[in-house]
A and B are shown apart, each in its own frame.
Chain A
Amino acid sequence: MVKREHLSLEMECLTLFQSNPYLFETIQGLEKRLGRKMSDLEPILESLTAQGILQRTGEGAMAYFRYKEPAVIAEFSFTSELEPL
């Protein structure tokens, strides 16, 4: 379950990636962009990655994060199968 204190930072991360969908950034870069500490960012990036909102490339300090767009079914009727486009 979400840790309340992290909510704000989590939303900050989301905002950053949502508004820059092509952002490709390391944790150090994110630290600078958000003005937050790496130790605070780590669990949040971890959780966003686990939820499939971010995608991680690489490992450790060299890992890059980027936004992964959600699946979209543009025309969905109540009877059709829910196959993403």
Chain B
Amino acid sequence: MIQSFDLIEELQEMYASQYGLTNFITDESGDIIMLAKGHNALFNLLLERGAVNEIIETVTKEFELSKTFFIDILPGVYACIAPVEGHPGYLLWSGVKMEPSSRDMIKNKIDHLIDDGDIDSILSQTPLFTLENKKEWLLSAKKAAKMISRLIGGGDSLFSEHLKVLQEAVKTEEGDVSRFLYSFLEKNSGIDFLGICEQRNDDLYEVSHAAGEEAKRIQGASFSPGESFLGRVLLTGEQAFWEEIEKDPKYTFFQHYHFYPKSLFCFPIQLRDGNLSLFFGGSRTSEVITDTVKDLDRNMAMLLEVVLSAESLRKENSGHLSRQSALADISMMLVSAPDLKKISYILVDISMSLVKGPFSAVMLKDSQKQKMMLVSRGDIKGEKGSYLKRAAKDYFTATSDLPPDRLVPSMKKLEGSSAIIECPLYFRGELLGLICTGTNSPVDQETEELLPFLQTLSLIAGVTLQLAGEGQENMMERKIEVLHSSIKEFDAEAYRIAEESVKIAREFTAELDISKPLIKNILIACKLHCFSHEYLAEMFPEAEFPKIVKDGTRVLAEDAAFKNEEQGIGSQIFALAVSYAKNEGDMEAVIARPYMKRIRQEFLSHLEDSKVVEQELPLEPESSHTMESKSVESTIKNHKNLSSREKEVLDLVIQGLNNKEIARELFISEHTVKNHLTKIFQKLDVPDRTQAISKVYQLTYNGSANP
């Protein structure tokens, strides 16, 4: 029975992340008893699509399993199978790696498994199976299986205990190996000291970590391969146990450092980069090493190898890892944030906690309202407040596009106070917001180091803001349309008024010098005029138009207490448009209030103008043309002197065709067309084509004017 699920899972995860492989454990009947761990995309895909099931079955049933081996899941794609010692039939599967030369073949093989994923990116993430790493893979799989074998069955409680120590050690941010050594010492009474030797640049080895009383004295001691006990292990590459070591001539090494152990063990540890490190330990009191202690030492060596590997991985990735994962977290958070407000919360908190300064403020431009939203932490009163206003004005009211160097985070030095980081948020060159974060110090290097991080942050934030803004606008528009069309269902008259008032308000506002967002809000107010402003405010808490409806309705209701002056231009236009539509276009009945004399006058004169336009409508080019051409046609038709062929030619001349086109149209030669034209000119008494056209129009006009 497996009693340490958590620990095995932890182990699987460690093994998976260390080598970029996915692994799982099967039992004697081929069932997966520990689920797959790891991010090997190719193996995960194959597992997901059931492409490995058959192989698992075959391997479980037909193979004699005592050794770790490779199996090809597909031609050129390998998994490693390690039997779990002491538990017949249990197998640790890890994979997959691929042969670089089989790439194309593999691509063809898995093509049908992928719906829309990118095969190339999956393959490029898959580790390569090479001669060099083959052995390493076998060894690591073997070791992982060994550790698992100790956990299955749960008999080895000490080992589980160790693994817990290991979990802790791997979690520590800095991979504190010394802490790991001390934890071991605390838990194992048979051992007094532990240490690690690592290779230095000059090929000598050095005791890099030492834990335990007196053992501290040998920390930093160096030796060459072959020298003393520890140097011997470097040569042989084999683990060693020494008892009663005081009599050994090699003992002088320890004496030199005033350190007197009585027994000693040492294990070589192969690191990922191929270098060898040593893990040693022993007792200052006991001259013999019992078998239990030997087992214990082996366990520790195995676990330490994992810790050292994890640490070397961490070193390779240096600080980038934590920063990248932080950025990934932030991006996830920003993208899933529902609205601008939430995004601004995230930004203000991140900038604040990043810089650890006295204040941080995020200013966002609201495209719908042409106003700013400011979200802040810390004290922004007084001098800082005026600075923020200046900064906002500076960035947001710039008449021309900001130069590229203003679009990256920069440090601002304020007179008599510490520096401030300004971080603009933009998308495709359009400024959407600004983060201003105070620092505790004047401009220094440490603060400047934050700028690249902030720049990446500002890029992500810019895109997210844009997306959120669009999303919000779309959502609002959809809601408005739904409400508007619902009016039709319950009140046809209100719907007519809505349509009519929107039309007239749109025409009228186009003539006025007012902002586009205000026009938009007036039109929405007209669309939804019949809803109560309370309802609208509840439905659209962030929007401006419910207020227009509210004030406009009071204007319409002749609320005497209501003083609607300059600021309420939106509601005044709303009231004018709605009252005009309600009275079915009766200009006399358009609402009149003392405070809106001027705007009413403008509205009325707009209506006058549009009426003229309406009257002129029938004379618009298209319709007038059809009318004219009809009468032109009849003028030609009724002309007594012209032959029918000449009439046809003249008709085409009027339509603007040249001689060649007329000839083609009538299936005659160009020459004949010319002859016809000469006769037409004679009969109409005109010298040329232009005059002929003019004459026909003249006849038409005179004819229609004096029928």
Our verdict on whether A and B bind, yes or no, reads yes
Report the stretch among B69-77, B254-262, B267-275, B366-374 that lies at the interface: B366-374
Contact, CB under 8 Å: B350 / A77: no
Q: A5-B173, A71-B377, A73-B373 are in contact. Are A48 and B329 (CB under 8 A)?
A: no
Given contacts A4-B319, A15-B332, A53-B349, 8 further A-B contacts (CB under 8 A): A8-B322, A36-B171, A37-B168, A37-B171, A53-B377, A70-B345, A70-B377, A82-B389
In angstroms, Cα B376 to Cα A2, docked, is 20
Q: Would B322 and A71 count as touching, CB distance under 8 A?
A: no
Q: Is the CB of B329 within 8 A of A15?
A: yes
* Docked-complex contact B333 and A19, CB < 8 angstroms: yes
- B350-401: which have CB < 8 Å to A? 350, 352-356, 363, 369, 371-378, 380-381, 385, 388-389, 392-393, 397
Q: Tell me the bound Cα distance from A12 to B350 in angstroms.
A: 11
Min distance, Cβ A71 to any Cβ of chain B, angstroms: 5
Chain A positions within 8 Å of B380 at CB level? 71, 82
In the complex the two chains form, is B372's CB within 8 Å of A76's CB? yes
What is the bound-complex CA distance between A48 and B325, given in angstroms?
A: 19
Interfacial chain B residues near A84, Cβ < 8 Å: 376
Alpha-carbon separation in the docked complex, A74 to B349 (Å): 17
Q: State in angstroms the CA–CA spacing of A75 and B365 once bound together.
A: 10
* Min CB gap B360→A, angstroms: 8
A63 within 8 A of B: no
A12→B328 CA distance, assembly (Å): 10
Give the CA-CA distance A8 to B171 in the complex, in Å. 13
B631 within 8 A of A: no
Asked if A18 and B319 sit within 8 Å, CB to CB, the answer is: no
Instruction: Determine if B349 and A82 form an interchain contact, defined as CB atoms under 8 angstroms apart.
Output: no
CB neighbours (8 Å) of B397 from chain A are 78
The 4 closest A-B pairs by CB, nearest first: A82-B385, A73-B374, A8-B322, A76-B372
* A-B contact list, 27 entries, CB within 8 Å: A2-B356, A2-B450, A4-B322, A5-B174, A7-B322, A11-B326, A11-B329, A11-B350, A14-B333, A19-B333, A19-B336, A47-B356, A48-B353, A51-B352, A71-B380, A72-B341, A72-B373, A77-B371, A78-B393, A78-B397, A79-B389, A81-B385, A82-B374, A82-B380, A82-B385, A82-B388, A82-B389
A7 to B356, CA, bound (A): 12
Q: Is the interface of A mostly helix, strand, loop or mixed?
A: mixed
Does A40 reach chain B (CB closer than 8 Å)?
A: yes
Q: Give every chain A residue within 8 A of B132 (Cβ-Cβ).
A: none
Interface residues of A (CB under 8 A from B): 1-2, 4-12, 14-15, 18-19, 36-37, 40, 47-48, 51-53, 69-79, 81-82, 84
Asked if B17 CB lies within 8 Å of chain A CBs, one says no
Across the interface, A78 reaches (CB within 8 A) one of B168, B355, B369, B392, namely B392
Contact among A8, A40, A71, A79 with B326 in the assembled complex (CB-CB below 8 Å): A8
Q: Is the CB of A72 within 8 A of B377?
A: no
Instruction: Count B-side interface residues using an 8 Å CB cutoff.
Output: 48
User: Which residues of B come within 8 Å of A, CB atoms?
Assistant: 168, 171, 173-174, 319, 322-323, 325-326, 329-330, 332-333, 336, 341-342, 344-346, 348-350, 352-356, 363, 369, 371-378, 380-381, 385, 388-389, 392-393, 397, 446-447, 450
Contact of A6 with B389 at beta-carbon distance under 8 Å, contacts A51-B356, A72-B374 already known:
no
Residues on the A chain within 8 Å of B333, using CB: 14-15, 18-19
Specify which chain B residues have a CB less than 8 angstroms from the CB of A71 in the assembled complex.
375-377, 380
C-alpha spacing A72/B345, complex, angstroms: 9
Contact in complex: A1, B353 (CB < 8 Å)? no
Beta-carbon contact of A72 and B322 below 8 Å: no
A76-B352 CB under 8 A given contacts A4-B319, A82-B385: no
Q: Which residues of A contact B374 (CB under 8 A)?
A: 72-73, 76, 82
With both chains docked as a complex, state the minimum distance between the C-beta of B397 and any C-beta of chain A, in angstroms: 8
Q: Which residue of A has the minimal Cβ distance to B327?
A: A11
Q: Are B353 and A51 in contact (CB under 8 A)?
A: yes
Q: How far is the CA of A79 from the CA of B386 in the complex (A)?
A: 9
A12 to B329, CA, bound (A): 7
Residues of B within 8 A of A76 (CB): 363, 371-374, 392
Set of chain A residues within 8 Å of B352, measured between Cβ atoms: 51-53
Checking B171, B319, B342, B377 against A51 with a beta-carbon cut-off of 8 angstroms, the contacting residue is B377
Bound-state Cα–Cα, A14 to B369, Å: 30
Q: A70-B345, A82-B374 are in contact. Are A2 and B354 (CB under 8 A)?
A: yes
Q: B349, B363, B381, B392: which contacts A70 (Cβ < 8 A)?
A: B349
Contact of B389 among A5, A74, A75, A78 (CB under 8 A): A78
Cα distance, A81 to B326, chains bound together (Å)? 36
Q: How far is the CA of A18 from the CA of B173 in the complex (A)?
A: 24
> Are A1's CB and B446's CB within 8 A?
yes
Q: Is the CB of A75 within 8 A of B377?
A: no
Chain A nearest CB from B121 CB (Å) reads 25
Q: Shortest beta-carbon distance, A28 to chain B, in Å?
A: 17
Set of chain A residues within 8 Å of B377, measured between Cβ atoms: 51-53, 70-71
Q: Would B346 and A18 count as touching, CB distance under 8 A? A: yes
**A70 contact set on B, CB distance < 8 A:** 344-345, 348-349, 375-377
Q: Could you say which residues of chain A place their CB within 8 Å of the CB of B376?
A: 70-71, 73, 84
B329 — which chain A residues lie within 8 A by C-beta? 8, 11-12, 15
